[in-house]
Chains A and B, each alone.
Chain A
Amino acid sequence: TAGITQAPTSQILAAGRSMTLRCTQDMRHNAMYWYRQDLGLGLRLIHYSNTAGTTGKGEVPDGYSVSRANTDDFPLTLASAVPSQTSVYFCASSKLAGAANEQFFGPGTRLTVL
């Protein structure tokens, strides 16, 4: 089973360009999340979705947008990238929303904005 897949694995992006990071899960999980991980900091939540058709803002949502058109896919879009968005981005999912339950993570996308 694939679990959660992310694409691309890594990307170098010029500042000001837009980009969509893709995330797909095949576990039929209700909740999905986007985190960024920076050296010396904990994972920080960007956006989340408790179920298809709904999204919410996390701790650091500025400069990012998401959509959840169906259960499986949860793309993250950077409309106009800035160097401070250089980071490793992880997509995650959990079976339930509104409950404390294990989150499963994708392999991550390493993004460099120059």
Chain B
Amino acid sequence: GQNIDQPTEMTATEGAIVQINCTYQTSGFNGLFWYQQHAGEAPTFLSYNVLDGLEEKGRFSSFLSRSKGYSYLLLKELQMKDSASYLCAVSGSNYQLIWGAGTKLIIKP
């Protein structure tokens, strides 16, 4: 079967660094997406990885290891506005997205 796993909830302190992990088992792989979703709002795109390695975009970075079926999203210099759910999604063999349940990130001052 197809499966995306990520922690349900994480807590971090303002100004700190947090790493949100995502492991996947899918039939086919055409890339991995990270989305941010604030409570009561729509998901918005953060990053896309299709090759192994680290992609950096400002305070956010995303890493992919295809051989391990593993990705992480790294958030630096955390701000209160980063409190949100972070969704991991894999583009499978038919290019449809398979979504994880999301990780709720709580930022404390």
A residues engaging B (CB < 8 A)? 40-45, 48, 58, 90, 97-100, 102-108
Contacts and interface: CB of A to CB of B under 8 A. Distances in A.
Nearest to B47: A102
B75 to A, nearest CB: 19
Interface in B25-42: 30-31, 33, 41-42
A90 B95 contact: no
B101 A42 contact: yes
Contacts of B95: 97-100
A108 B42 contact: yes
B97 A45 contact: yes
8 contacts: A42-B4, A42-B101, A43-B89, A43-B97, A44-B99, A97-B95, A98-B95, A100-B30
Contacts of B96: 45, 48, 58
B42 A107 contact: yes
B48 interface: yes
B87 interface: yes
A20 B74 CA distance: 40
B100 A42 contact: yes
B99 A42 contact: yes
A102 B4 contact: no
